[in-house]
């Protein structure tokens, strides 16, 4: 598709699928874009989408960004999911190891320049992997953050130049957990310890009662996104 065709596709499908179930959105993505991938962070939304994809299109590529700063629980969740579905996730790593990054930019870059750290360990690797595909699926939901409130189920991702499907955009946190429990989906145990949003170990803390669900990400700063979606 050229740009005009992509924009026309998005305009039609965003309206068509606004009230569709996630499985319908995934089925459309798989049919329209054989060269499709899913970006998995092993959070609650993403383990739901892994389960749906394994039911609908088990051959679709699923990758994860290994920042090399994930919680042990996140890596263990990856391993358990891989074993359950006999699934091999595509590992996408930064160019710099943690040691090389510290040597080049100083220790604890995540404290001194969190945007640069996210760019090195997430955005640049994501840009590389997405350049190989025509479309991608994400676990974005509108009520996760104000920056995601207007997310469509089908969008044109201007940052990466491809079609973006957000099957769970209209779901609530309760919807996510209803699916997890009803389908016995494996999930990250940190969710049971008040971590609704799980990122790197250095920049994620538990959320206190009454706080925004993403308050545990980059706590103490105005940062709300790592740069993957905005």
How many residues are listed for the chain in this entry? 230
In the annotation, is 226 catalytic? Answer: yes
User: By CB neighbour count within 10 A (0-12 exposed, 13-18 middle, 19+ buried), where does 181 fall?
Assistant: exposed
**Angle (deg, nearest 10), helices 72-85 and 44-56:** 10
Picking from 173, 176, 190, 213, the residue whose alpha carbon sits closest to that of residue 75 is 190
CB 114 within 8 A of CB 17: no
**Which residues contact residue 212 at a Cβ distance below 8 angstroms, ignoring those fewer than 6 apart?**
145
Distance CA 1, CA 5 (A): 6
Distance CA 196, CA 215 (A): 9
Distance CA 149, CA 66 (A): 27
CA torsion 205→207→211→214, rounded to 10°? Answer: 60
Q: Where are the beta strands (DSSP E) in 168-214?
A: none
Catalytic residue, chosen from 118, 200, 203, 226, is: 226
Catalytic residues: 226
């Amino acid at each position: 598709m050229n740009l005009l065709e992509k924009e026309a596709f998005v305009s039609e499908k965003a309206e068509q699928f606004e009230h569709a179930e996630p499985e319908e959105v995934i089925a459309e993505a798989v049919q329209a874009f054989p060269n499709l991938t899913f970006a998995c962070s092993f959070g609650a939304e993403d383990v739901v989408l892994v389960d749906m994809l394994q039911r609908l299109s088990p051959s679709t590529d699923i990758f994860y960004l290994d920042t090399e700063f994930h919680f042990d629980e996140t890596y263990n969740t990856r391993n358990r999911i891989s074993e359950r579905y006999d699934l091999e996730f595509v590992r996408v790593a930064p160019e710099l190891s943690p040691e090389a990054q510290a040597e080049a930019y100083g220790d604890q870059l995540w404290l001194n320049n969190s945007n640069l750290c996210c760019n090195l360990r997430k955005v640049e690797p994501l840009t590389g992997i997405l350049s190989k595909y025509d479309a991608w699926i994400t676990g974005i939901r509108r009520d996760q953050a104000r920056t995601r409130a207007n997310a469509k189920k089908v969008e044109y991702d201007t940052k990466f130049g491809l079609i973006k499907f957000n099957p769970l955009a209209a779901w609530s946190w309760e919807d996510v957990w209803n699916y997890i429990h009803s389908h016995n989906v494996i999930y990250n145990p940190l969710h049971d310890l008040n971590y609704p949003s799980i990122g790197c170990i250095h920049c994620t803390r538990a959320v206190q009662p009454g706080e925004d669900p993403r308050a545990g990400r980059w706590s103490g700063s105005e940062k709300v996104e790592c740069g993957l979606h905005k």
